[in-house]
Amino acid sequence: MEQRLAIEGGAILADASDSGNAAVAWFSAHPSLAKAVGEGAQSAVAKGRGGAFFVDTGTRRWVARPYRRGGLIALFSRDRYAWTGEDRVRSFREWRTLAALHALALPVPRPVAARYRRAGLTYCAELITERIENTEPLSARLEIEPVSLTLWIAIGRCLRRLHDAGGYHADLNAHNILVDSRDAVYVVDFDRGSIRRPGAWRDANLARLYRSLCKVSAPLAPDRFSATEWETLLAGYRSLPAAADDAAHGPA
C-alpha cells in the first residue's frame, strides 16, 4: 500500500514497509542527492543508468536516481520539468509502474520511495529502488564476452513476460537490461514507462532494443551480436503462450 507524505514544496511517495519508511527518513536527511554522493554514496553506477548511484545505509542497499534531461533542452534546464500536476510527476509515475510490475513478481527493481519538489512552475524529482545485486548491463557483458544462446532466449522470455503484463518501457536498450552472475535477467529504468493494453508498442519496444544492440555491438567482435543472436532472442520471446486476459492490462 502506498503512502504519500507532504514535504516543503512537494511530496514523497513510498510503501508502508520498513524499507519504505527508511527511505522516507533517508530522503528527509538528504534534501539533495548531489550532496548525498559526497556523504558516503558510491557514485558512477553502470553506464546507461541515468546518473544513478548506489546508497548503502549499513542495513539497506538502494539505487538512487535524480531525473535528468538529455539533448539540447539540457542546456537550458538539466533537472527541472514543467509542473502539470502531481499525478504526472515522473518519479511518482515510475514508482507506480514499478510497483504494479513488481507486485506480479516480474523481474524489475522494487520501488522504495519517490520524491518531487516544486519551484514555481517547475519541479525536480528523484527515485529510490532496491539494488539488484551482482548484476551488470547487457551492454557491459557484450564488451567482455559473447552471450550464450541460452541467455538470449532468457532475455526474450523476460521481455515477453513484461509485455504480457502490459509493461511498456520507453527506452528499452542494452544498458537497461541487467544480467546477474547466474544469468537471471532484469529490466530497469522505467522512466516514462506505463502499463498498457497490447498493441504495436510491443514491436516498437523490440525494434528499439534491436537498434541499441546493433549500436553497442558495432565496435565489438562479430561474435557478440548478429542475426543469429537476435533470432534466438525472438525465439525466446515467442516461446511463451499468449496472456489469457488482455483486458487485465489496464488502459493504453
| Residues forming the active site | 171
User: Can you say whether the dihedral through the CA atoms of 88, 92, 96, 101 is positive or negative?
Assistant: positive
| Residues pairing with 61 in the sheet | 56
Local structure of 109: helix, strand or coil: coil
Rg, C-alpha atoms of the chain: 18
Q: Are 127 and 133 in contact (CB under 8 A)?
A: no
Find, among 27, 22, 32, 26, the residue nearest to 11 by Cα. Answer: 27
C-alpha cell at 94: 515510475
Residue reference for cell 554522493: 37
Find, among 175, 176, 153, the residue nearest to 107 by Cα. Answer: 176
Residue reference for cell 525536480: 124
For 61-105, what is the HEC assignment? EEEEEECCCCCHHHHCCCCCEECCCHHHCHHHHHHHHHHHHHCCC
